[in-house]
Chains A and B, each alone.
Chain A
Amino acid sequence: MTNKQQGLSRRDFLKTTGIATGALVGGGLIGGLVGYNVKTDNKTGTEEHLAAEGQGSPKGLMFLTNKNEFNILSQATERIFPEDDLGPGAIGLGVAYFIDNQLAGNYGSNAKEYMQGPFFPGAGTQGYQSALTRGEIFRQGIAKLNEEAQTRYGKGFAELDGEQMDTILTAFQKNEVEMKGVTSEFFFKLLRQATLEGAYADPIYNGNVNMDGWRMKGFPGHQMAYINVIEDEKFQVIEPKSISSMQH
């Protein structure tokens, strides 16, 4: 694949490796997407997903209004963060519920952000300049994923096989899909970021089911202190804890 996409390119990777937080935002090209071995039977995924409602406190939709939108979001996030031998993917982690619930709150309505006009497109270095809220972007983006699926393959997005979904997601990432008031590249970035948030946020936000996202990664979540172990040479495997366990 070409180096042309403006999304999370090698250049972005290099640009961000040295920043003060030491955090990296993401990797390079989406080469090598072909041939990876995850479940492509979306029905199974959806059923597993809905089964999550039975565990602990119930999950439900607060923003999206129909099951098809929800299935599209579930499948798209699962392609970004798939189930594999390390553990659950986005569906198993409840990521689509997490995103839906976030869209119903401040995040979805950009409540803490400057949304006054006038609006102009601007340069990439000036950041987000659309009048659309994230809620509006996700609604449109999900519809667009489906529309692309219909145009390219004559089926709904959630009915496609994994490689077909990847082809469509890649087209979004490379900004090849026309959207209104926002670029498809931006929608893809939001979707990717929100997927990672749902996989790794504290389970109180309805993603990271059973703290399995943290467990896979070796992150112990909320711990009170590391003062007694921080000088140890040995890598510490610590059973993760949610913020909900915090007792002072």
Chain B
Amino acid sequence: MAKTLDKVDVVTVGVGWTGGIIAAECAKAGLKVRGLERGKDRSTADYSMIHDEFRYAIRYDLMQDLSKETVTFRNHRKMRALPMRQMGSFLLGENLGGSGTHWNGMTYRFLPYDFEIKSMTEQKYGKNKLSQDYLLTDWGITYDELEPYFDAFEKTAGISGEDTNPFWGKRSADFPTPPMKKTPILKKFETATKNLGYHPYMLPSANLSEAYENPDGQSIAACQYCGFCERFGCEYGAKSSPEVTVVPTASKTGNFEAVFHANVVEILKSGNKVTGVRYIDTQTGEEFIQPADVVVLTSYMLNNAKLLMVSKIGEQYDPDTGRGTLGKNYCYQIGPGATGFFDEQMNVFMGAGALGMSIDDFNGDSFDHSDVDFIHGASISLLQAGTRPILSNPVPPDTPAWGSEFKKASIHNYTRTLSVFGQGASMPHKENYLTLDPDYRDAYGVPLLQMTYNFTDQDRNLAKFITERAADIIKEMGAKTVAPGGPLTDYDIVPYQSTHNTGGTTMGASPDDSVVNNYLQHWDADNLFVVGAGNFQHNSGYNPTATVGALSYRAAEGIIKYSKNGGSLV
């Protein structure tokens, strides 16, 4: 028998960036918020032994326990979906802070083009630029409307950057902190891209260039360029994460409480309202019902979609009929790029998660697509994140994979190799979607989420184009040997690519083509909000979190409005 707890104003499922932002904003506004987090509590003190590639980057110490829950995957509908048994393509977060603890901190805003991609593409290239199999959809909000929320997120996180990129949207304020240090490696990229006529800029970074106090009074330290950033927590509290920003802000109000080891298994619904959630205490196995006036799904886009599906809220997308919106427009990202082998040794082991430079000359609609067989593009970057010896054994093509020649080449090239990579935008396709798996279950008996996904022709064409650009850049940087990435084949869930999964709980202007409105309020239940990269109608050529953060501020505003006036916010 489930035990029913006292009702709260707002309950969030998960406490990462999205849950943390909602908690901070709602608690500041006087609402009583409870954050149910299935992992444990943690703070900067837990990262003092973090410079350990093996434990954290290879054995995934901070990440989700897949023995409890994973996803199943297949490339297409005729294949049998099977569990992702080991972490691979993406690294899911768990515990306070979620993936916001072990992210890199590259913090780009999506482009104005992204939010109105369907209208703008049709306007410029006609209705048939892509076939009808691609489900391009506007987001129901414009960049200009979202700009204040981007600004709010950047100020909370103290993002370091420079506004010299001619291709991104207009900013109402400069970055809160100046850009990071321009190292010799970055300068090579800067010179090469300028020589080629492009427009390099310092990557906006949540690894702060200087100590900073955010508008909520939280202090974030200055980055020490320690090189143990992505896949690690920051021992200095210098990487913006929920546990050094929004979570303490929420706690300080006295209106927020985080409950740990609380795994939510169902959203409870009555009529066209939700009434709360049901969760299991993972330490005792006890079941609890947490009633709430507002339920907010902030459990990463995969879990958000799964919880809606198991709770039967909304209509499941069906690729045969095209009906339904839940699970629709699942997108990922593609990583075209080129590796260069240089003569000189470089300090590749120094760095920071978001220390890098990028160009947007081939991203969004910043170049003319009339003569190419794809839309959108990729940011093209060079990152000096700190390469570590287990994961980085670069050898020129045609070197053996093991034995003495391999050893010599991998040791020689470790400090002589750089990569230029694209984050390729991903367009929604009718055959790429999320649903529930009929066969496999999680540790609590709930079905696993099933992913049907493959790269499309659009992706392959885009990848080929960007690979060539990346190879030109690394060559111009002075690489002696250039190894461009191979052609894009089938999506493979094994090698790490990025934790930039999007779609499934999309936002939009109409319930016909979206799950939530532009306040991230569910079309079928006024008091249910769904927040995360699942709201994206497609995936852009950047990392997602600034846009996820902006949407979280937008949702928080909606929740506060709703708690006063009720009803639909649009």
A246 close to B (CB within 8 Å): yes
B414 touches A219 (CB 8 A): yes
Residue of A nearest to B443 (CB): A116
The residue in A8, A129, A243 that gathers the most chain B C-beta atoms within 10 A of its C-beta is A243
Cβ–Cβ contact B52 & A243, under 8 A = yes
Check if B404 sits within 8 Å of A22, measured CB to CB: no
In the complex, per-residue mask of A211-247: 1 if CB is within 8 Å of any chain B CB, else 0: 0011011111111111101111101100000010010
CA distance A25 to B395 in the complex (A): 9
Residue with the greatest number of chain A CB neighbours at <10 A, chosen from B388, B404, B497:
B404
Asked if A63 is at the interface (CB within 8 A of a chain B CB), the reply is: no
Whether A60 sits at the interface, judged by CB under 8 Å, is: no
Are the C-beta atoms of A217 and B400 separated by less than 8 Å? no
Give the interface segment out of B20-28, B78-86, B192-200.
B78-86
Does any Cβ of A come within 8 Å of B126's Cβ?
A: no
**Closest residue to B60 on the A side, CB-wise?**
A112
Check A122 against B497 for contact (C-beta < 8 Å).
Answer: no
Please name all residues of chain A whose beta carbon is closer than 8 Å to the beta carbon of B235 when the two chains form the complex: 248
Contact B389 A219 (CB under 8 A): yes
Which residue of the partner chain, among B486, B490, B494, B497, contacts A127 with CB atoms under 8 Å? B494
Give which listed residue, A14, A124, A226, contacts B227 with CB less than 8 A. A226
User: Counting CB contacts under 8 A, is B141 at the interface?
Assistant: no
Instruction: Judge whether A235 and B415 touch: CB under 8 Å.
Output: yes
Q: Is the pair B54, A14 in contact by a Cβ cutoff of 8 Å?
A: no
Please indicate the chain A residues that have their CB under 8 angstroms from the CB of B5 in the complex: none
Contact of B400 among A33, A84, A124 (CB under 8 A): A33
- Closest A residue to B407 by CB, please name it: A81
In the bound complex, do residue A10 and residue B181 qualify as a contact, i.e. CB atoms below 8 Å apart? no
Cβ B404 vs Cβ A125 within 8 A: no
B67 adjacent to A233 (CB under 8 Å): no
Chain A residue numbers with a CB within 8 Å of B422 are: 18
B406 located at the interface, meaning its Cβ lies under 8 Å from any Cβ of chain A in the complex? yes
Q: Give, as a whole number of angstroms, the nearest-CB distance from A61 to chain B.
A: 20
In the complex, how many angstroms separate the beta carbon of A167 from the nearest chain B beta carbon?
A: 12
- Residue A28 at the B interface, CB < 8 A? yes
**Complex formed: what's the CA distance from A18 to B381 in Å?**
11
A114 contacts B387, CB within 8 Å? no
Closest Cβ of chain B: how far from A193's Cβ, in Å? 9
Q: Check A124–B85 contact: CB distance below 8 A.
A: no
Mask for A56-91, Cβ within 8 A of B = 1, else 0? Answer: 000000000000000000000001111010100100
Q: Are B400 and A224 in contact (CB under 8 A)?
A: no
In residues 157-211 of chain B, which contact A (Cβ within 8 Å)? 181-184
Q: Are A113 and B66 within 8 A (Cβ)? A: yes
Cβ contact within 8 Å between A21 and B391: yes
Given contacts A16-B495, A114-B85, A230-B350, contact A80 B403 (CB under 8 A): yes
Report how far A232 CA is from B470 CA in the complex, Å: 26
**Are B486's CB and A14's CB within 8 A?**
yes
Complex CA–CA separation, A145 to B349 (angstroms):
37
Most A-side CB within 10 Å, residue of B338, B385, B406, B441 = B406
Q: A18-B467, A127-B88, A217-B414 are in contact. Are A27 and B401 (CB under 8 A)?
A: yes
Number of B residues near A (Cβ < 8 Å) is: 105
Q: Which parts of B417-443 form the interface with A (CB within 8 Å)? A: 417-419, 421-423, 439-441
For B55-85 the 0/1 string (1 means CB < 8 A from A) is: 0001110000111011001110001101111
Measured between alpha carbons, how far is A127 from B496 in the docked complex, in Å?
12
Is residue B310 within 8 Å, beta carbon to beta carbon, of the partner chain?
Answer: no
Q: Which listed segment binds A: B320-328, B339-347, B364-372, B511-519?
A: B339-347
Given A20-B498, A123-B75, A126-B493, A14:B483 Cβ within 8 A: yes
Question: By DSSP majority rule, is chain A's interface helix, strand, loop, or mixed?
Answer: loop
- Establish whether residues B389 and A17, one from each chain, have CB atoms under 8 Å apart when the complex forms: no
B525: min CB distance to chain A, Å? 31
Q: Which listed residue (B225, B347, B398) contacts A29, Cβ 8 A?
A: B398
Complex CA distance for A112 and B61, rounded to whole angstroms: 9
Residues in B with CB closer than 8 Å to A16 are: 485, 495
Q: Is the interface of B mostly helix, strand, loop or mixed?
A: loop
Which of A26, A205, A219, A246 is close to B49, meaning CB atoms less than 8 Å apart? A246
Total CB contacts across the A-B interface at under 8 A = 289
Stretch from A41-49, A153-161, A194-202 contacting the other chain: A194-202
Known: A17-B338, A125-B75, A202-B52. A32 touches B389 (CB 8 A): no
Judge whether B291 is part of the interface by a CB distance below 8 angstroms: no
The residue of chain A having its C-beta at the shortest distance from the C-beta of B490 within the complex is A125
In the assembled complex, A23 has its CB within 8 A of some CB on chain B = yes
**A30-B403 contact, Cβ under 8 Å, with A11-B486, A112-B67, A120-B80:** yes
Check A147 for interface membership: any CB of B closer than 8 A: no
Given the complex, which residues of A lie within 8 Å of B338, measured CB to CB?
17-18
Question: What residues on B are CB-neighbors of A173 within 8 Å?
Answer: 401
Interface membership of B510, Cβ < 8 A: no
Nearest B residue to A207 via CB reads B54
* A192 touches B (CB below 8 Å): yes
B398 A28 Cβ-Cβ under 8 A: yes
Q: State in angstroms the CA–CA spacing of A122 and B86 once bound together.
A: 14
Chain A 79-132 interface residues, beta-carbon cutoff 8 Å to B: 79-82, 84, 86, 89, 106-107, 110-116, 118, 120, 122-129
Looking across the interface, which residue of chain B has its beta carbon closest to that of A216?
A: B411
Measured between beta carbons, the chain A residues less than 8 angstroms from B398 are: 10, 27-29, 31
Asked whether, in the complex, the Cβ of B401 is within 8 Å of the Cβ of A30, the reply is: yes
- Tell me if A51 is interfacial: C-beta within 8 Å of chain B: no
Residue B491, interface by CB 8 Å: yes
Which A residues are CB-close (under 8 A) to B395? 24, 26-28
Q: Please name the residue on chain A nearest to B417 by beta carbon.
A: A24
**If the complex has contacts A14-B486, A17-B339, are A196 and B85 also in contact, measured as CB distance less than 8 A?**
no
Q: Is the CB of B486 within 8 A of A166?
A: no
Asked if residues A112 and B66 are in contact (CB atoms below 8 Å), the reply is: yes
CB neighbours (8 Å) of B389 from chain A are 200, 213-214, 217, 219
Check B271 for interface membership: any CB of A closer than 8 A. no
The distance from the CB of B467 to the nearest CB of chain A, in whole angstroms, is 7
A111 touching B67, Cβ below 8 Å: yes
A36 and B405 contact, Cβ closer than 8 Å, known pairs A11-B486, A231-B183, A235-B346: yes
Contacts A17-B485, A20-B423: A218 and B399 contacting too (C-beta < 8 A)? no
A106–B383 Cα distance when bound, in Å, is 32
Q: Flag whether A139 is at the interface (Cβ < 8 A).
A: no
Q: Which residue of A lies closest to B543 (CB)?
A: A20
Instruction: Decide: A123 and B184 in contact? CB cutoff 8 A.
Output: no
Task: Tell me whether B408 is interfacial, beta carbon within 8 Å.
Answer: yes
Identify 12 residue pairs between A and B in the complex whose beta-carbon atoms are under 8 Å apart, listed by A's number: A15-B492, A18-B419, A18-B470, A21-B391, A24-B394, A116-B83, A127-B493, A223-B226, A225-B224, A226-B347, A231-B183, A232-B347
> What 17 new A-B contacts, CB under 8 Å, besides A27-B398, A116-B440, A230-B183?
A18-B484, A22-B387, A24-B339, A26-B395, A29-B398, A82-B403, A110-B86, A111-B67, A112-B65, A114-B84, A122-B82, A125-B491, A192-B402, A196-B393, A217-B414, A226-B350, A248-B235
**B interface residues with partner A (beta carbon < 8 Å):** 48-49, 51-54, 58-60, 65-67, 69-70, 73-75, 79-80, 82-88, 181-184, 222-228, 230, 235, 335-339, 344-347, 349-351, 383, 385, 387-411, 414-415, 417-419, 421-423, 439-441, 467, 470, 483-486, 489-498
